[in-house]
């Protein structure tokens, strides 16, 4: 390999570096090669002394603290993008072929599509959309009631319950919409028709086949695709919802054994679990089976649900939610940071803090009084950053691993308060309590 080729390949390998850095490196190797040539070596021999260009470039990039395999990752990304484009093209071709098959199927369909029938389908579709929009109202009411109930739950379980409720009501609404649409439009898409044709000069074996069933392959494919789609939108999520309810039942049963009065919630969830199991079987049998469906499970689930609601009314009226934490023996620590504001305004980057006016402080002087539970937080880091005319103070608590003894203390504290139908914001054990102090002139700079 001569000097020109060596330098060209090396330049390609070092494209990630800046032009100035790259030129410095190339000039250095160029001078080294020319120096060796002056002393009697050929260009090929001088280049060979450097070893493999690949290894040389890797060593240079490592010296600049750059991953030498960045180009491979780039090639992988490029390969993934190309594969994605090919997949989209193939999908578009398949969709085009499938659309053409559907059009041909409609042309050969037993339905005699007239202009009157087309307008009939359009009008029914518009009415159906209006009806489904109105049907969303009861689902919205149920969802709103459930969200208000879950507001009483403690974080982060309140958010988890809200997401589960939204997903559940959304899935049920989607299921109902699909079923209603299938019932309304099913008569227009029947592609089979029984006709009786009597042939005179036919043997007896062929006379037995006078009833001819016309079915196209495309219609069967569409039916199977619809089955898979309905399964993914109904049965599949219902399985997971049912599984989640069983897990929640185990947790509630554990709380009942420990003496926490959650019998009403347990009965409600038991009724919901039985209903989900029943609903799952109904949709699965409609798609893939012809077994009879008995409604006794629906009646049992309704009994449990109503009973649980009555039990829960008394419990919810006595249940109390408090801000802060109950009395505890965890160690607390307080630190004070003195800061001087040099810009026109300043920001405290934390989700919650208290502001106190202290006129004993000088202008542009602020104090950050930070208290926390040292059993859960080891230290607090304050990052100060100036942006144009404002200063940002970002407070980041450093959490530490909780000891087994402290976990047990938290558990006993939570169980004790639950037995007394009280709930506190236990997440504050890992939060900072921040008080910002400044005089009247400086407080106005806080944005």
pLDDT digits (tens, 9 = 90+) for 207-260: 444 444 444 444 565 666 667 766 766 677 777 778 888 888 888 888 888 888
pLDDT digits (tens, 9 = 90+) for 12-59: 888 778 888 888 888 888 888 888 888 888 888 888 888 888 888 888
In which band, very low, low, confident or very high, does the pLDDT at 261 lie, cut at 50, 70 and 90? confident
Backbone angles phi, psi at 110, to 5 degrees: -70, -20
pLDDT digits (tens, 9 = 90+) for 265-278: 889 889 888 888 88
In which band, very low, low, confident or very high, does the pLDDT at 203 lie, cut at 50, 70 and 90? low
Q: How many CA atoms lie within 13 A of 290 on its CB side?
A: 0
The Cα-based distances of 36 to 31, 47, 49, 50 in angstroms read 9, 9, 10, 12
| 345 close to 364: Cβ distance less than 8 angstroms | no
Q: How far, in Å, CA of 195 to CA of 134, rounded?
A: 42
Tell me what pLDDT residue 199 has.
42
Tell me what pLDDT residue 62 has.
77
Q: How far, in Å, CA of 21 to CA of 26, rounded?
A: 9
Question: Does residue 310 register a pLDDT over 70?
Answer: yes
| 369 close to 435: Cβ distance less than 8 angstroms | yes
Average pLDDT over residues 324-335: 87
With vertex at residue 267, the alpha carbon angle to CA 265 and CA 268, rounded to the nearest 5 degrees, is 65
| pTM, rounded to two decimals | 0.47
Between 143 and 353, whose confidence is greater?
Answer: 353
pLDDT above 90 covers a percentage of the chain that reads 1
Sequence-distant (6+) residues with CB within 8 A of 302 are: 271, 275
């Amino acid at each position: 390999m001569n000097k020109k080729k060596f330098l060209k390949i090396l330049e390609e390998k070092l494209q990630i570096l800046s032009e100035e850095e790259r030129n410095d490196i190339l000039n250095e190797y160029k001078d080294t090669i020319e120096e060796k040539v002056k002393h009697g070596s050929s260009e090929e021999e001088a280049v060979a002394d450097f070893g493999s260009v690949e290894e040389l470039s890797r060593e240079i990039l490592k010296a600049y603290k750059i991953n030498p395999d960045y180009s491979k990752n780039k090639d992988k990304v490029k390969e993934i993008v190309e594969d994605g484009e090919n997949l989209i093209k193939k999908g578009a071709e398949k969709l085009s072929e499938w659309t053409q098959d559907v059009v041909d199927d409609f042309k050969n369909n037993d339905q005699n599509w007239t202009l009157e029938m087309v307008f009939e389908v359009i009008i029914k579709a518009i009415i159906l959309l209006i009806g489904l929009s109105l049907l969303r109202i009861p689902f919205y009411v149920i969802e709103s009631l459930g969200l208000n109930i879950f507001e009483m739950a403690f974080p982060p379980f309140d958010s988890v319950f809200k997401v589960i409720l939204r997903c559940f009501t959304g899935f049920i609404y989607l299921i109902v919409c699909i079923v209603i649409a299938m019932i309304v439009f099913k008569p227009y898409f029947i592609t089979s028709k029984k006709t009786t044709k009597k042939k005179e000069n036919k043997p007896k074996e062929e006379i037995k086949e006078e009833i001819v069933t016309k079915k196209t392959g495309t219609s069967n494919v569409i039916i199977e695709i619809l089955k898979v789609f309905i399964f993914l939108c109904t049965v599949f999520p219902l399985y997971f919802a049912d599984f989640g309810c069983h897990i929640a039942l185990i947790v509630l049963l554990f709380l009942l054994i420990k003496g926490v009065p959650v019998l009403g919630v347990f009965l409600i969830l038991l009724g919901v679990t039985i209903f989900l199991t029943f609903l799952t079987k109904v949709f699965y049998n409609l798609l893939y089976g012809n077994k009879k469906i008995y409604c006794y499970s629906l009646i049992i689930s309704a009994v449990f649900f109503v009973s649980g609601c009555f039990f829960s009314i008394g419990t919810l009226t006595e249940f109390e939610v408090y801000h802060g934490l109950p009395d505890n023996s965890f160690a607390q620590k307080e630190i004070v940071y003195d800061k001087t504001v040099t810009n026109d305004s300043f920001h405290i980057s934390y989700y919650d803090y208290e502001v106190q006016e202290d006129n004993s402080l000088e202008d542009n002087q602020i104090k950050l009084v930070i208290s926390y539970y040292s059993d859960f937080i080891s230290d607090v880091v304050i990052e100060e950053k100036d942006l144009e005319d404002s200063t940002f103070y970002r407070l980041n608590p450093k959490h530490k691993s909780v000891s087994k003894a402290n976990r047990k203390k938290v558990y006993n504290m939570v169980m004790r308060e639950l037995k007394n139908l009280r709930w506190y914001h236990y997440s504050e054990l890992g939060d900072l309590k921040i008080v910002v102090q400044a005089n009247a002139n400086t407080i106005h700079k806080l944005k």
